Structure 1
Amino acid sequence: MTPLQSYASDPANSRGRLHDEKRDVTRGPRDDFQRDRDRIIHSISFRRLRYKTQVFVAPDGDHYRVRLTHSLEVAQIGRTIARALGLNEDLTEALCLAHDIGHPPFGHAGEDALEAALADFGGFDHNAQTIRTLTLLEQPYPRWKGLNLTWEMLEGLAKHNGPVRKPTWALAEANEAMDLDLDSWPSLEAQVAAIADDIAYDNHDIDDGIRAGLLTLDQLLELPFIAERWHAICDRFADVPEKLLLPELIRDQIGLMVNDVLETTSARIDGLGIETAQDVRQAGQMISGFSDAMAKMERVLKGFMYDNLYHHPKQMAAAEAGKMMVSDLVQAYREQPDLMPEDWTSALPGEEPARIRHIADFLAGMTDRYARNRHREIFGDRAGRA
């Protein structure tokens, strides 16, 4: 294993956990970041990602990605980058695995519905909901709420995209409990997790889009940088049918992006004189990321994916149906709280905004199929009410 660089996050120097824990040697020789990773993997909220939308709402096909498989793919890319840069692989992996835990059912459509429902009560943000879920809603331990993750883990989840100047109410609550230094830049491990997420969905969504018949190879080849790589692959495998070469294109694209991140990040570390983890937080900019040329290419690719896949009429119709289901369920639970399971009903606060936020917590934890089943129980077979 590559030795840790001086600017990597070191579990021996962790700022600790909110609740002090006595080391229990019966649970294995793991450091704090390894324990964080394992707590994520063993959590209920992580298991629920199996039935949460990635791109395709409640996909019928077994071969499409869901939030769980996406998170695993992000973790694989993140670990590769972290290892090459001499960063902490376990913290990077834990951040990658946890980054989507706060997503409600039906992806961004479900998030839009909850944002609208909570518009007068501070709104809804899936990133902050991830932290809320891991610090309050998961309750596997007898003496405290949450998974009691390290400061570095929570900091990375809170600001993997950079400093947070105006935290939402959920993030502000978490920050009040454990100051996450929201004005500073995140660790390199958190930055790597963020760029690994981009690399994963930029490329794997192409695979799923073509498999679903919503994208075609001809459409992709309208992008010059895709066409250049495709033609090189066809030349390299001239004796192989083209229909077998799409996975090779996806792999090449991922490799190209990963190598660009490694070169760019290493150059920035050297150019900024980064020597310690604190230097990273005080750098005044993101250090790990794409070069200017790759960032420009990636923006073009994202624009293409929005135009041709994410905003495809079939996708928009499915998303609208999901949004309506979540909106219906919010209204139903507000009017008849006893429709929720007893443990959620019994804990329902009496006053706003805590009341609607409690309902949102219940809804955000739902999988696509659970939300569909609850909606069917309450409203029958209608996809959603107008």
Structure 2
Amino acid sequence: MIQLQSYASDPADSRGRLHDEKRDVTRGPRDDFQRDRDRIIHSISFRRLRHKTQVFVAPDGDHYRVRLTHSLEVAQIGRTMARALGLNEDLTEALCLAHDIGHPPFGHAGEDALQEALAEFGGFDHNAQTIRTLSMLETPYPRWDGLNLTWEMLEGLAKHNGPVVKPTWALAEANDAMDLDLHSWPSLEAQVAAIADDIAYDNHDIDDGMRAGLLTLDQLLELPFIAERWQVICDRFADVSQERLLPELIRDQIGLMVNDVLETTRANVEGLSVQSSHDVRQADQMIGGFSDAMAEKERALKGFMYENLYHHPKQMAAAEEGKMMVADLVRAYREQPELMPASWASALPEEEPERIRHIADFLAGMTDRYARDRHQEIFGEPHRRK
């Protein structure tokens, strides 16, 4: 068994769940964070991630990443760092696996459409929608709505990027139900999960972008720190064709980032004299993260990816189409709620803002494929521009 550091999250000291549960020994000898992780994996919303956009909208190629495979890759990186730092691996993994559950179809394009539709009713935020989905919309238990996750799990999802000064309506609603101390920093497990997400998509999106032909190696080598690492790899494998070396570049980049996080986090723990999880939450800074030098490189890489991949004309056209479909579906369900499945239509509130938020809940849970099918079913063609 891995020895936890004193500043790690201990399931024995959990602040508990919203609904008290009597431990059922027939369901195995698992602690509370292991149960959280397993509840995520067995949830319907987690399964739907296999058909939700990561970079490419409803990708035709079998080798491109989707939200599900991305979440698994984040979890692998997160567990590696958690183990090296003596943190709770199960809580870290659960946070990594759950972090994208609130994303609507078509990625950020779908989120933009829902944000516009709910603009006068508090807006839409995928991070808060993750908590709303797991706390309210999933209904696998007979006596309460939601997965009844631990306080530490919900806290980590709510503020993995740091304290929340102005929570959205959905996050405020979750906080009212179970005070998540939004003003403080999250656990170190949540901080590691957040940086694992950055490391995963920073590097794996390069792989998908080059596979799709939207990025080239020459473009990538315009970044000095990438060019430097590429030269090291080419020297290391001088007898191997360059076509075989891109995966090695991705692995090296991930390794460099992970090692930087480990070194920086350990230095921060020592420098701040962190002795407990309470100390982590009361620190006046993020403890788990990149060094200043690596953070600068990572920002440059993100900027490059936005300019050359995320904002590529083909990507922008696909995103615009996805946004249009979600906006069309919002209007259709507002005007004809009977178009929704009977279980959703029958539960539709009469008054705003609950009414439009209910419609958004339905839409946010859709996969790319399901949204396309419903759009074609209602409008008679897969996409329609007004």
| TM-score after normalising by structure 2 | 1.00
Equivalent-residue separation in structure 2 for 1:280 and 1:144 (angstroms): 32
Residues 339-360 of structure 1 deviation map (CA, whole Å, 9 limit, x = unaligned): 0000000000000000000000
1:221 and 2:232 are equivalent in the alignment = no
- Mapping of 1:151-166 within 5 angstroms? 151-166=151-166
Q: Retained in 1: the 8 A contact 2:49–2:67?
A: yes
> What is the aligned partner in structure 2 of residue 106 from structure 1?
106
Equivalent-residue separation in structure 1 for 2:248 and 2:90 (angstroms): 28
Q: Retained in 1: the 8 A contact 2:54–2:65?
A: yes
Q: Retained in 1: the 8 A contact 2:373–2:382?
A: no
Q: CA deviation at 1:384?
A: 3.0
1:142 and 2:136 are equivalent in the alignment = no
> What is the aligned partner in structure 1 of residue 187 from structure 2?
187
Q: Amino acid of the residue matched to residue 139 of structure 1?
A: T
Equivalent-residue separation in structure 2 for 1:175 and 1:150 (angstroms): 13
Q: Retained in 2: the 8 A contact 1:122–1:168?
A: yes
Number of aligned pairs?
A: 386
> What is the aligned partner in structure 2 of residue 345 from structure 1?
345
Structure 2's unaligned 5+ residue stretches are: none
Residues 269-316 of structure 1 deviation map (CA, whole Å, 9 limit, x = unaligned): 000000000000000110000000000000000000000000000000
> What is the aligned partner in structure 1 of residue 28 from structure 2?
28
Q: CA deviation at 1:2?
A: 2.8
- Mapping of 1:200-219 within 5 angstroms? 200-219=200-219
> What is the aligned partner in structure 1 of residue 357 from structure 2?
357
> What is the aligned partner in structure 1 of residue 15 from structure 2?
15
Q: Retained in 2: the 8 A contact 1:214–1:312?
A: yes
> What is the aligned partner in structure 2 of residue 317 from structure 1?
317
> What is the aligned partner in structure 2 of residue 263 from structure 1?
263
Residues 178-230 of structure 1 deviation map (CA, whole Å, 9 limit, x = unaligned): 00000000000000000000000000000000000000001001111000000
> What is the aligned partner in structure 1 of residue 230 from structure 2?
230
Q: Retained in 2: the 8 A contact 1:220–1:226?
A: yes
Q: Retained in 1: the 8 A contact 2:372–2:382?
A: no
1:2 and 2:2 are equivalent in the alignment = yes
Equivalent-residue separation in structure 2 for 1:228 and 1:251 (angstroms): 15
Q: CA deviation at 1:383?
A: 1.5
Equivalent-residue separation in structure 1 for 2:381 and 2:359 (angstroms): 23
Q: Retained in 2: the 8 A contact 1:2–1:84?
A: no
Equivalent-residue separation in structure 2 for 1:2 and 1:191 (angstroms): 20
Equivalent-residue separation in structure 1 for 2:141 and 2:351 (angstroms): 28
- Mapping of 1:5-154 within 5 angstroms? 5-154=5-154
Aligned-partner SS, 1:378:
helix
Q: Retained in 2: the 8 A contact 1:75–1:92?
A: yes
Q: CA deviation at 1:382?
A: 4.7
> What is the aligned partner in structure 2 of residue 170 from structure 1?
170
> What is the aligned partner in structure 2 of residue 276 from structure 1?
276
Equivalent-residue separation in structure 2 for 1:308 and 1:331 (angstroms): 33
Equivalent-residue separation in structure 1 for 2:127 and 2:300 (angstroms): 25
Equivalent-residue separation in structure 1 for 2:174 and 2:214 (angstroms): 40
Q: CA deviation at 1:381?
A: 1.5
Q: Amino acid of the residue matched to residue 9 of structure 1?
A: S
Q: Retained in 2: the 8 A contact 1:58–1:369?
A: yes
Equivalent-residue separation in structure 2 for 1:45 and 1:341 (angstroms): 17
Q: Amino acid of the residue matched to residue 245 of structure 2?
A: L
> What is the aligned partner in structure 1 of residue 245 from structure 2?
245
Equivalent-residue separation in structure 2 for 1:382 and 1:198 (angstroms): 33
> What is the aligned partner in structure 1 of residue 302 from structure 2?
302
Structure 1's unaligned 5+ residue stretches are: none
Equivalent-residue separation in structure 2 for 1:284 and 1:110 (angstroms): 35
Q: Retained in 2: the 8 A contact 1:137–1:145?
A: yes
Equivalent-residue separation in structure 1 for 2:312 and 2:282 (angstroms): 42
CA RMSD after TM alignment: 0.5
| Percentage of pairs with the same residue | 86
Aligned-partner SS, 1:258:
helix
Equivalent-residue separation in structure 1 for 2:207 and 2:384 (angstroms): 30
Q: CA deviation at 1:385?
A: 2.8
| TM-score after normalising by structure 1 | 1.00
Equivalent-residue separation in structure 1 for 2:158 and 2:342 (angstroms): 31
Q: Amino acid of the residue matched to residue 343 of structure 1?
A: S
Q: Amino acid of the residue matched to residue 311 of structure 1?
A: H
Residues 313-372 of structure 1 deviation map (CA, whole Å, 9 limit, x = unaligned): 000000000000000000000000000000000000000000000000000000000000
Q: Retained in 2: the 8 A contact 1:328–1:385?
A: no
Q: Retained in 2: the 8 A contact 1:121–1:353?
A: yes
